[in-house]
Amino acid sequence: MVIKVFLASSSGSTAIKKKQQDVLGFLEALKIEYAQLDIASNEENRMWMRENVPGDMKPSNGIPLPPQIFNEENYCGDYETFFNAKEENSVYEFLGLTPPPGFKKAPPTEEEVQDGEEEGDYDREEDDAPVSEEGEEAEEAED
């Protein structure tokens, strides 16, 4: 299985270039085999990408922007969905690949976390911004 990353080699958008570099760099870091398919210099690649991105994943103008990621013929997602998978430590699942032995599993699902979620959120808020009732009143008085 080869991961296909559709990108634009001559994009004028620095945002697109950064997104493409982020995807490729992460795949290289994980030693995941991939193929770069340029849509700027190859009309066939551009047409294939546009035809194979599912309708619900296309922007309102109907033209998906690079990078777009496929596992062979199966659509995986765009940069935003890749980024979300990266943040959730589920890139292998996103790509439809089996994680290598010893790879850290994705964090627990929402159902597994629900019981302790409120307590954990409270602790984080308390650590991030310790505010007492007196401090809140003082802030209101200053305004």
| pTM confidence score | 0.71
pLDDT at 14 over 90: yes
DSSP 108: P
Residue 123 has what pLDDT?
Answer: 41
Tokens of 105: 């599993």
The single residue listed with the structure tokens 């490729």 is: 24
Contact 44, 52 (CB under 8 A): no
Beta strand 34-38 pairing with 3-7: parallel
pLDDT digits 0-9 by tens, 43-59:
999 999 999 999 999 98
pLDDT digits 0-9 by tens, 123-136:
444 444 445 444 44
**75 phi and psi angles, rounded to 5 deg:** -70, 130
Whole-angstrom distance, CA of residue 29 vs CA of residue 72 = 20
3-state secondary structure 96-118: CCCCCCCCCCCCCCHHHHHHHHH
pLDDT digits 0-9 by tens, 19-33:
999 999 999 999 999
